[in-house]
Amino acid sequence: MQDICAQIPVTDGAALSTNVGNQITNAATWGKQLLNLQEQSSILTKTLKFVTDVSSAVRDVAYAKSLLERQMYIVGRCTELLKRADGLDASLYRNVESSVSSVLVNNNSLIDLLTSTLTTRFKMNDSERLSMLMNIKAEQTQLLQNLHTTDMIISTTLATNDIMEYQLLK
């Protein structure tokens, strides 16, 4: 015949209390870690916002720098055109001078607009500021096209004068 054996569960009170104590300690440690993680998350979020703001500011400054360089180029081109037009008849020179003057007035307006856009006087978000800078670039492109047209007129007139002078000398 077989003997039937049964095992009676025995609870060890000391082991149970140590185990419960460890669980309470672990829960407290997890709570502290959770608070630390929340604090780190907050710091990282603030850091990300700061880095994003700085990145936007650097992008705007780089874009503005290129716009300022274009404005200096426009002024230089105007000076060159007036020097080239110096040999033209008085009527055409006045037209060139008027055209160049108009370009310079518009360029000065764009400089003022650029300065205003980059200051904090106007409350703009990054998207609005970038849009304004892009509009300034489009206006500058139009000014450069006007200068190119004026340059072509001067070149054509000077070439025509040279041809006429050559024909007279023949």
- Cβ contacts of residue 102 below 8 Å, gap of 6+? 146
Token digits of residue 48: 């990300």
Q: What is the pTM of this model?
A: 0.64
10-35 pLDDT per residue, tens: 666 666 667 777 788 888 888 899 99
Q: Using one digit for the tens of pLDDT, what is the confidence trace for 51-109? A: 887 787 788 788 888 888 999 999 999 999 889 888 888 888 888 889 999 999 998 88
Interatomic CA distance for residues 71 and 38, integer angstroms: 49
Q: 137, 60 in Cβ contact below 8 A?
A: no
On whether the CB atoms of residues 147 and 77 are closer than 8 A, the answer is yes
